[in-house]
Amino acid sequence: MITGSDADTTGNAAMIIGNDVDITGNAAMITGNDGNITGNDANTTGNGPDTIGNDANTTGNDSDTTGNDSDTTGNDANATGNGSDTTGNDANATGNGSDTTGNDANATGNDPDTTGNGSDTTGNDSDTTGNDSDTTGNDANTIGNDSDTPHFAPKCGVSDANCTVSGTKAIASVTVLG
């Protein structure tokens, strides 16, 4: 029974080698991300096969459980084999992390576009300053209208003896008709 457990352990080692190949594939996908956003979609598809590989490792664990029913000593060897399968799953998770790094690089590319929009806003502010100058010009015209007001003095009547016009006193002249 112990010999049968050793055979299961060897099978788990082969699965670990397969995971190493998946990691290499993810590295190639990172290079693709630098070229195009569409490349990120392909990376997502690549992650799917890694998950299928983990399912195959689970099937191997079921076989180890059958071995446990036969012999307690064999359980120790099978437990070691299960540990190897867990290591293989970790390797797949690391590969997915590399794909996420590629997506971060694309997000950084979006930041310069946002900076460009800020420059456009600055241009609009300059236009607003020009409008303020026009308003100042209108105020100057209003002041000009006010300066004309002192020229309108009240008229003197014929019967007003002492009437002031432009700072001087005018004496009314009365003509008596015979």
Domain layout of the chain by residue ranges: 2-125
**What is the model's pLDDT at position 157?**
57
**What is the model's pLDDT at position 145?**
43
Question: For the chain, which residues score pLDDT lower than 70?
Answer: 1-178
**What is the model's pLDDT at position 173?**
56
**What is the model's pLDDT at position 37?**
46
Cα torsion 37, 39, 44, 45: sign? positive
**What is the model's pLDDT at position 158?**
55
**What is the model's pLDDT at position 75?**
44
**Count helices and strands in the chain by DSSP H and E runs:** 3, 2
Q: Rounded distance, CA 153 to CA 138, Å? A: 27
CA distances from 172 to 109, 130, 135, 151 (A): 91, 57, 49, 21
